[in-house]
Structures are given as structure tokens and as C-alpha cells.
A and B are shown apart, each in its own frame.
Chain A
Amino acid sequence: MKIKQISVFLENKKGRLYEALKALAQAGVNIRALSIADTSDFGILRMIVNNPELAKKALEEAGFTTKITNVIAVGVKDEPGGLAEVLKILYENDINVEYVYAFVEKSGEEALVVLRTNNLEKTIDLLQEKGIKLFDSKAVENL
């Protein structure tokens, strides 16, 4: 149930985010979800895209350092407390969240979030056990 996320190292410099997104646009890559973790010197752009391998190729050709990491896509109720419910399960089971961010689009009545924890396998088992809906890569690509 893991999905592929592409990360890009960005210097905190004018125009770098644009350059990265331009490379993706030219390759015809569509972004499903994105977030930026930033420090004063650099940032990490994390994205879920419709074609991670193509995105990686396009970005590397444009001179960027990239990495593909596994994450999970979780469907949560689009109402107050929807995400908190999921995080409570992780908290109670001693799983740490590395990062979390939201998809641009919804899937039906559910909001989609990207989640990475210190133990992905255990997270997947737990959430499925509790009846939380996870999306595989195919479902994400077809959003």
C-alpha cells in the first residue's frame, strides 16, 4: 500500500522552485500533492506525481538532486477531527510521524493526506486493522 514520493533538494535561492516545477511541466508531469520543508539555507520539495520515474528523470536532467521515498496515502473524513483520528491511532501505538501533508484533490467525500512515519509497515497494518482507507499508487495516479 506504499506509494512513491519524489523529493528534491533546493537551495534557498531565488527561482529554484520555479526551475524545478518548470522541468516537471515540460516533461508533462502532473503534481497530485506537494509540500516544502524549509530551513534558512535549503528546502526539500516533496511531491506525489502521476509518474515518479519520469519526474525523477526530468529533474535530474535539469541538474537537481532527487530521491524517491515510500510514503502512504490515507483517506480521512473531510470533517473536524478527521486527521486527528488517524494520528491518535499512531500516537497510541508509539509510532512517530516524520511528516504529513495534504493532497490537492479529494477522493469522493474523503480528504487525502500523505504520511511518512518511522515504521511504515506497522503503520499500514494498524490503519488497515482500524478500517482506515489507504490508497495505492494506481488509485493516486487516477485521481
Chain B
Amino acid sequence: MFWNKEAETLPLEKLRELQLERLKKVVKYAYERVPFYRKRFDEAGIKPEDIKTLEDIRYIPFTSKADLREVYPFGMFAVPLSEIVEIHSSSGTTGKPVVMGYTKNDIEVWKEVMARSLAMIGVTKDDIIQIAYGYGLFTGGLGFHYGALTIGATIVPASAGNTRRQIELMRDFGTTVLCCTPSYALYLAEYAKDEMGIDPSGLKLKVGSFGAEMWTEEMRKEIEKRFNIKAYNVYGLTEIIGPGVAHECPEQKGLHIWEDHFYPEIIDPETGEPLSEGERGELVLTTLTKEGVPMIRFRTRDITAFITGECPCGRTGRRIERIRGRSDDMIKVRGVMLFPYQIEQAILEVQGVEPHYQIILTRPHHLDEIEVQVEMSKETFSDEVKEIEALRRKLEKRIEEAVGIRVKVTLVEPKTIPRFEGKAKRVIDKRGLS
């Protein structure tokens, strides 16, 4: 279903024209209003007028998360605070927080892209949508809220946490759409079944929009099976707008970027050079219409690739594949780069093992070692040591095939790996490197 058919299916030529017009405008706007950009442009010897084609964007310096921290709190704002109607801030666990401000118009854009995202997966005013993303200083909750409000769906603003109540609300209100992190969705299903004796597939849910953390196709299948729903991938980040930068369509083959508002590039994270279509690299985004805090060539640290070819759904915004890793989450072990999702996928391929695992990095004798703890499931438990050992070796072999280095797998008792209501912490680094 289209929310704004004209914008969503804009012919490519027209779309590029619109993007160029908006890019020129936002670059000039940022240069004139934000000292940070003026300084960067001047240092690089580039003027807004030098941008004559979309390809010229490559001459503009990147903006990093570290840059945003340095100007804490309001240094990136392009308008006076009186024009700002809402502020969001990252948690700041790895340094000073990043602060983003929205003008009234920015909120309108956010509502629009989230309404498109939800309508695309079939959400209408007749739906009851339970938003189990956090609301407080986290863009997840409010982003979905705005989108659902725009569509006119019935919102249950549950926010994150309070699992028992979430399930009671779903059951008693007849929730049809669930929005939360994918790991929390799995936790909800498990909790409903084990703690409350409620079969999650018997709830009225029909679709879910899941994101804010990395997940895999296997997790999607698991969520779809347990709740008997269609599970879709949402992408976004506070620095750009929040959720609603991109979303999957019913094809479930990549996430359409709303390109009339966000201009995407994929670059080589080492050299910063643009990659050709289909190559995997770091996603860089430029906001084309944002007023409060315009973002020019923001390095998302997210690893993905453009999916080539037209999408049968008719939308012309380019698709990106599901996020394959974050350069921040990237683990370098004995010089080899790997991502937690690779390990996750390998575990799930070995049949019957619940997708609960944790990666522990140590350096006992000046050499990195990886231990992967996997919870033993009822289905795979055998009372013979040799069979459990065989399962363990199978996991080790599969993970080694996936990541290219040897790992040690330890099987642990069920429910001993902590569950998280927000983002899952999959990696524990005890090497003392950072």
C-alpha cells in the first residue's frame, strides 16, 4: 500500500533532479548556518556552488559521530532554539552524547517517512499498533508514534520493558502490529509461552516492524513462525532522523531508502571512496530536507550494499540489504575482521539450537581467543557425552567456516545468557584493548 504514491514511485530521472536541487540547497544552507560545516568546507577548499551534479558530493568532507560529539550540545544546530520543537540525545556511553534537534517541519518529514514505511507493510487506520521501542530520548518510540498517528492507527504506546504487561496488552487489546527490537520480539514470544502459557501465534498480530539492532534472516523466520506474522526490517538513526530512513516493502528483499529526503552513498570504509553498485561497504547519508540539524555525508558506520535492479513493488528509492555489521561492532580477532551476525547465522544453521548466544573475547597468552557460549536447548540435549561433544564440534566447525578462524564453543544451560529489553549485547571483550 502506498502512502504517497507520487513520491514513492517518482521516475528515476525526476528523482535525481529533485535530489540535486535539494542537495544544492542543503549544502548552501549548512554552509551558511553551521560554523562546523563552513570550517570543513573551507579547509577542503570547496564552496557550495561547486556542487553541480550529484556525483560532486564526493568532494564534500564526511561528518562523523565524533564530530557531532565535539560540538555538544547545540553546535550543529542550523536554527535558533526557538525554532526547535523536539530534542533527542544519544546515551553517550562512549563519550559525550550526540544531540539532535527537530524543527516543526522536520517532524512533518519524520511523520511522512514513517507513515510511508508503515503503510508499505499494510498498516491502516483500522490497526492497533503496539510500540514497544523506548520513548524517552530514544527516537525509536516517537518515530513509530508519529508515523502511526499520521496514518490514524490506534496507538498503544507501551514503550520498552515490562514484558508481562506487553503480552497482556497484546492479548486484551487485540494488537495487530508490533514494533520493537527483534531480540525483544523473540523474548516476548518466549516469555508468553514459558511464563504465561500463552501461545504467541494465537495472538491477533499480523505484522511487525523490527530494527534498531542487527538481526538475521534466521531470526526473521523465527519471529514469523512464533507469532505467525510477517516481520519487516526498519532502518534509521538518530543523527539522520530516527527510524524511517529506510524500510522493507512486502517483497522482503532489501529496504527502500526514502531518497527524496535522504541521499545514500556506499563507500569503502578504509579509503572513503565510493563503491560501485552491489559492493558492500559503509553507508553514508545526507539529509536533503532537514532544517534543525542538516547532516552532510554522515558516516553511519553501518555496513550494507545497494541491491541492484527494480523492485516489483514499484518504488524507485534504492534498496539496501539488511545491515551486515557496524564498523563499531566489527571484531578484529588475530587480524581477521568479523561480525557477530556471521556467528549468529552459523549457530542457527546448526539445527535446533535456540538463537541465544554470547561472544567472549580474551587474550590469554598474547593471542586472541574467541569463545562462543550457546544455550543448550531441550531439542538438542542428549544424555550422552559423545553426542553433546558432536554438537559442540559441529557448531565450532560451522562457525569456523563462516568467520575463517577457530573458535571455542561452550554449551551453557538454558536462560543463563542475559536477555535484553533494548539492544542485545552480544560481544564481551575482555582483552583489555579499549
Contacts and interface: CB of A to CB of B under 8 A. Distances in A.
Same complex: yes
Interface of A: 5, 7, 9-11, 16, 37, 39, 41-42, 44, 46, 63-67, 69, 98-99
24 contacts: A5-B383, A7-B381, A7-B383, A9-B381, A9-B388, A9-B413, A11-B412, A37-B385, A41-B410, A41-B411, A42-B410, A44-B383, A44-B385, A46-B383, A63-B413, A63-B414, A63-B415, A64-B413, A65-B381, A65-B413, A67-B382, A67-B383, A98-B384, A99-B384
Instruction: Identify the 5 closest CB pairs spanning chains A and B, nearest first.
Output: A7-B383, A65-B381, A37-B385, A11-B413, A69-B383
A46 B385 CA distance: 11
Interface of B is mostly: loop
A117 to B, nearest CB: 12
A46 B413 CA distance: 16
B383 A10 contact: no
Most chain B beta carbons < 10 A, residue from A7, A11, A65: A65
A8 to B, nearest CB: 9
A138 B215 CA distance: 51
Interface of A is mostly: strand
B412 A65 contact: no
Contacts of A63: 413-415
Contacts of B412: 11
A76 to B, nearest CB: 23
Contacts of A65: 376-378, 381, 413-414
B413 A39 contact: no
Interface string B360-392: 000000000000000011100111110011000
B416 interface: yes
A46 B383 CA distance: 8
Contacts of B416: 11
A9 B377 CA distance: 10
Contact of A16 (B381, B389, B413, B414): B413
